[in-house]
A and B are shown apart, each in its own frame.
Chain A
C-alpha cells in the first residue's frame, strides 16, 4: 500500500510530448481511474508508474521516497495489461508464481500463496492449464492473480476490461472493485471507457492531450465538469453543445437571445452545454420539431430541431410518446446549464442561462 505523489511529471518522445505538467496525489488504498481518449497519455503515465518508462522531468514518490530511478522490479508494482501478457508457454500456476521466483520466496510458501490468490480470483481449478486454453475472462483473472500474488504496494490496470464481452465486463468490474476493497491496495485504472471509470473508481483523473483536465469524484466530474472536454467526454448520450456569444446580460445562440442568470462573468465566444436528460418537454418552452427517435428501452432519445440548433433530449419512463415531425416545446432549468469559454474550453463558474420562452 502506498501513497503516490506525482509532481511536474513530463514525458517526451523526441519531439512529441506525451505527458505534460502532471501533478497528482493518490492516497493510500485509493482507487483512481485515469480516463481519456486514446493518445491522451494515460498509458504512458501508467508505464512511468510501473518503471517501464522513465519520466523526462518531474518527481515521482511512493510513500514519500523518490522512485524516479528505481528499477521496475524494486517498486513492487503489479500490472494487468490490456492483452493480459500471460507467458504463453507456462501453465497458470507457473504464470502466477513467476513474480515470486525473483523475490526468493521459499517453494512451499510460494505454492501456498499461488493457491490462495488463485482461489481469491477463482482460477484454482485451472492451475494446470495454459493461457491459450482459456477464455478471455479466465486469462484476465490469471493476469490479476499474477499482479496480486506479490502483494504489490500499487496495482496498475491498463484497460483490463476492453477485451471482454459486455456481460463478462460487468462481472469483472464488480469483482475487481470487490478485490480492491478487500486487499486495500492502492489501484490505478487506465481506461477510455467512462462507465468503467465512474463505476469502479473513487476518483477520476480526466486527461486530454497529455494534460490533466480535471480530478474529481465520479458524480462531481459529471455534474461540474471543469472544461468542455470533460463535459463532452463524460456522459452518454453526450452533452448538447451549442456555440454562442455572450453579449451583456444575454447569450446569443444561433440568433436566439437567452437570458443570463447567476454571477459568472463570461464575455465573447462561449459554448452552452446542457445534458440531454436535463432537457424536458415543457408546454411553455421553446418550439421545435422531432427530427429523430432512438428508443433505448428504459429511455428514449429524441433529436429535436429548434431555433437554437439540434438538441438531444433524453426522456425516461414514458415510452415513445412522440412521432417523427411532431411539434414539441422544450425547456431546462437554469441550474442545469453550463457555460464554457470557447477559446480555452474552461467552465465559467456560476454562469447560468435561462431557457428561452416560446
Chain B
C-alpha cells in the first residue's frame, strides 16, 4: 500500500515537480551562485566574492530610484487598468447583448494578440512628438497644442501601453466569473429593488471576490518582472525615468555585461516577488480559496 502511494505521488506530482525544479528553483539557485562571482563580459569566473552585494548596498544610487519607479508603475497599471478597467470591461460586455459583448471583448484582446514589437511600434507612432504622431494629429485637429508624451509623461505612457494589454486578462477572467453567477440572484436583486449599481455592489462584486484577488496577485507578479514593452517603447528613458527594476537588471547584466552584478540585483526581485505574494496571500485570505479534495485517496 505504501509503495503504491509513493508511486502515485511520483506519477501525479512528478511532472509538475520536475518543471518547477528546472525552470523556477534551479534558476534561482544558479542566480544565487552567480551573484557571488565576479563574472563579467569575458564570461570568466576568477574569484568568489561578496563585492556585488557591497556595491549594491553602498554605491548604487539608481537601485532605489528604480524600485520607486517600479512601485509607481505596478500600482497604477494594476489600479487603473489590469483590475479596474478589466472589471469595467467585464461588467459592461456582460450587460450588453451577447454579440456586442463578444465584439468588444475581441477588440480589447487585439493588443494581446499582436506581436510585442508591432504593438510597441504602433505606440511609437501614436505618441510621436512630431505632427505625424496620431495623438498630435488629433490634438491639432481639435485646435490644441501638440504634446511629447515620451519626454514629458513617460511613466503615464508605459502605464497606458501596458494597461491596454493587461486589462484583457482581467476582463476574460471576470467575464467568466460573472457568467457563473446564478441568474436567479440577479432576478432576485431586481425584484428586491436594487438598481444596476447596487446589483454590481451587492451581487456581482461579492461573487467574484476570488477572481479579483487572483488577478491582483497574479498581475502584480507579472508586472514586476515584465519589461519588454517599456524596453521597446521608451528603452527606460528619458534618462532612467522609466527604467523599472526588471529592466534595470537586464541593462546591467546584458547591456553592460555585468553578469555577476545583474545576478545580485535579480535576487532582490525574487525577494520582492516572494514578499509581495505572501503579503497578498494574507491580505486576501487566499487560504480559504483552497478546497479540500472531493475524492479521498487511501
Contact = CB atoms under 8 A, between A and B. Distances in A.
Main secondary structure of the interface of A (DSSP, over half): loop
B82 to A, nearest CB: 24
Interface residues of B, number: 18
B187 A50 contact: yes
B60 interface: no
Interface stretch (B63-71, B108-116, B202-210): B202-210
Contacts of A150: 192-193
Contact of A73 (B193, B202, B203, B207): B193
Contacts of A99: 192-193
Interface string B158-194: 0000000000000000000000001011011111111
B198 interface: yes
Indicate the member of B187, B191, B203 with the most A CB atoms within 10 Å. Answer: B191
A146 interface: yes
B193 A79 contact: no
A81 B192 CA distance: 12
Nearest to B183: A85
A251 to B, nearest CB: 49
A73 B188 contact: no
Interface string A32-59: 0000000000000001001110000000
Contact of B191 (A50, A87, A89, A103): A50
B207 A78 contact: no
Contacts of A103: 193
A163 to B, nearest CB: 12
Interface in A42-98: 47, 50-52, 72-73, 77-79, 81-83, 85-90, 98
Given A99-B192, A150-B193, 18 more contacts: A50-B191, A52-B187, A72-B191, A73-B193, A73-B195, A78-B191, A81-B184, A83-B182, A85-B182, A85-B187, A85-B188, A87-B188, A89-B207, A98-B189, A98-B192, A98-B194, A98-B202, A102-B194
Give me the 8 closest cross-chain CB pairs, A-B, nearest first. Answer: A102-B193, A73-B193, A85-B184, A85-B188, A89-B206, A99-B192, A81-B184, A72-B190
Interface of A: 47, 50-52, 72-73, 77-79, 81-83, 85-90, 98-99, 101-103, 146, 150
Interface of B: 182, 184-185, 187-195, 198, 202-203, 206-207, 209
